[in-house]
Chains A and B, each alone.
Chain A
Amino acid sequence: MPSPLDLADLPFLREALLELVLLAITGGVLGAWIVLRRLAFFSHVAGSATFPGLVAADASGVSPTIAGIAVALGYAGGVGRAGSARDHGEATALLLVAALATGVILASDVFESGAVVDRLLFGTLLGLDTADLVLSAVVAALAAAAALALGRTWSAVGFDPDGAHALGLPAGRADGLLLVLVAVAAVAAIPAVGALLVTAIYVLPAAAARMLTASIRGLVACALGVALAEGVLGLYLAYWLDVPAGPPVAVLGALVCLGVAAVTGGWAAATGRSAA
């Protein structure tokens, strides 16, 4: 059993730890709004939709980050124009399946870079570079700044869209920015946890926190704490078991969610939906 101190001592683990801490900050701040605004499926698809673009970029020598952001922004723009990810579930699911299948075909038959698939889908502890850390830091800073400036607007729109519009709020632009932030955050998480598991860091901690708290401020703080704990522990497990970081973080997130749901009586009871 390796020492937990290796996370701080070994350079590649230190970088991975820093990456997961930055993603956890984004996961705490943005994850709260992803859950409150019911964008979990959107965030999942935003990560997966970039997959074929990342495969093609990897094989062509183009920056995967730039390619991923371009695809994610296109996806966010499309959903924003269509109205809502929730209202277009079938189209979103179609995009998800098509993106994954296209990515696999590109990797296995066109570019013959099958080894890339695992790394893009499930993340890696090795090979995280400065650009990955910078992108994650920028996204964390943007998410925090946006949540501070737009939190009241996101809250008003989420609570009562009609009423928010009547208040003269820039609801459309604020929602559009939220979609863009979530899409870019999904791209930032791909190197560490993979395209398929971005929800592990952005949705699951906030979903667990949602069942434990009754205020937005509490939700953000709790989601941040849970995301940090799951990120650090997941990284340690990945190092110990010699697996990519994404799966242990995802499994931990799922177990925590299920445990909290069992204790609190589930999502409906914890969020008061039964009162509706």
Chain B
Amino acid sequence: MSGPAVLVDGLAAGYGAEPVLEHVSFEARAGQSVCVLGPNGGGKTTLFRVLLGELEPTAGRVELSGRPAYMAQTERTRLDFPVTALDVALMGTLAAGHWWLPPRRPERDAAAAALERVGLADVAGVRFGELSGGQRQRALLARALVQDAPVLLLDEPLSGVDPASATLIAGVFEELRSRGHALLVASHDVESARSFDLVLCLNRHQVAFGPPGETLNRAVLQATYGHELIVLDESAGTRAVTVQHHEHGH
């Protein structure tokens, strides 16, 4: 078996003297998917910023098998910016490093193919701001796909999307896993975490890491979410939802 695509060992990170995330150690191999669960301010975004190289860890080490692709939340994008879905997908080709050159035919073909994979081929020329919420998420996913990165970091990719888009995005995730890409997906959705290979629970520190069957129990979820957790059913595994304000935190 090959080495880990993502290795995090004893990580601590923060924006000042006080760490906002510490004692994080986990690894994901090629073809594995990891759901990163946690409340707002729990450290999901901080973890992604460290993995992206934007934030230096204050302790521990991070190793990745290559530059990760990142899918931001659509709320972080400017909807009034005059770019089409194809333009957004083409931005993914900039990761190859030739940012000073105009896009060439192979890059245009790769962007068009990525849009095809996410079901947006017929709206390639539509302005990003005019797409539906689910279509915007898919356009950002296409930008990440174009990079063909070994590791994909996806920040709440299913947040606010329509069921059809959610199904399509989940299908693309499955395809990426089968092709050997490692996926780290930040999410608030406890139930959807069950479909991942591994779950990482964060609440300013690592609460738990492991297969969903071992981690998604009442004790771990309460340590992760505290009073934000509402347990629905414990008869067949802990079914729970979280109640929280949707804001961009740590």
Contact = CB atoms under 8 A, between A and B. Distances in A.
Interface in A254-276: 271-273, 275-276
Main secondary structure of the interface of A (DSSP, over half): helix
B99 A152 contact: yes
A163 B80 CA distance: 16
Interface in B70-127: 70-72, 76-84, 87-88, 91-92, 94-95, 97, 99-100, 102-103, 127
Contacts of A153: 94, 99
Interface string A23-38: 0000000000000100
Interface string A161-174: 11111111110000
A159 B91 contact: yes
A70 B246 CA distance: 46
Nearest to B51: A166
When A and B form their complex, which 10 residue pairs have the shortest distance between CB atoms, in order from nearest?
Answer: A166-B70, A276-B79, A149-B100, A272-B129, A271-B80, A273-B80, A159-B81, A160-B77, A167-B95, A275-B129
B143 interface: yes
A166 B127 contact: no
Of the candidates A36, A162, A276, the one having the most CB atoms from chain B within 10 angstroms of its own CB is A162
Interface string B46-65: 00000010100000000000
B239 interface: no
Nearest to B73: A162
Nearest to A216: B82
Interface residues of B, number: 36
Interface in B135-165: 140, 143, 147, 153
A54 interface: no
Contacts of A161: 76
A102 interface: no
B68 interface: yes
B24 interface: no
B130 interface: yes
Contacts of B83: 155, 159, 216
A164 to B, nearest CB: 8
Interface string B4-26: 00000000000000000000000
7 contacts: A155-B83, A159-B78, A162-B76, A169-B94, A214-B127, A216-B83, A218-B82
A165 B99 contact: no
Contacts of A235: none
A168 B97 contact: yes
B67 A163 contact: no
B69 interface: yes
A245 interface: no
Interface string A215-232: 110110000000000000
